[in-house]
Amino acid sequence: MMRTRKVERKQTELAGQCCTSQGRLFDITVHDLSDGGCRFADDDPALFVGAPTNIMINGTGPHRCFVRWREDGQVGVSFVRPMSGDEIEQVLSGKMPPRAPVESLPAERPAAAPQPAAPTGMVRRFC
């Protein structure tokens, strides 16, 4: 099947993780990446066309996305928020900018709403 893309995807072999809307978390290898999406291998039917998912790529994310196509064990997703060119280069290089320490955040920034504690025995995940 021939696919037409607005932006050429960069060929990669980046480690990542995927979390389905059902909470299934698994390792992936991202085979190509562009500002609008990426492709990785997976045979799970839970990743059906239109399914929402979250992925981490090379230590970045989570990146919210939707499954756009499935074919021959490959899955193509589109990002809800496209990556900038700088973000893509940082992901590809593995050189992520340092995160700001909490004490350097502006005082006027509203505090995040408290999150409920995870039930005993459960681990909090990014998805």
Distance CA 10, CA 34 (A): 6
Among the listed residues 22, 70, 26, 73, the one whose alpha carbon sits nearest the alpha carbon of residue 50: 70
Check residue 114 and give its pLDDT. 55
**37 with 79: CB under 8 angstroms?**
yes
**pLDDT tier at 103 (50, 70, 90 boundaries)?**
very low
For each of the domains in the chain, give its residue range(s) and CATH number, in order of start: 10-97 (2.40.10.220)
Q: Give 2-42 pLDDT, tens digit per residue.
A: 456 566 778 999 999 999 988 999 999 999 999 999 999 99
**pLDDT tier at 118 (50, 70, 90 boundaries)?**
low
Using the structure block, give the residue that is written with the tokens 């909090």: 124
At residue 113, what are phi and psi to the nearest 5 degrees? -60, 140
Q: Kindly state the percentage of the chain with pLDDT values over 70.
A: 69
Structure pTM? 0.69
**pLDDT tier at 92 (50, 70, 90 boundaries)?**
confident
Check residue 25 and give its pLDDT. 93
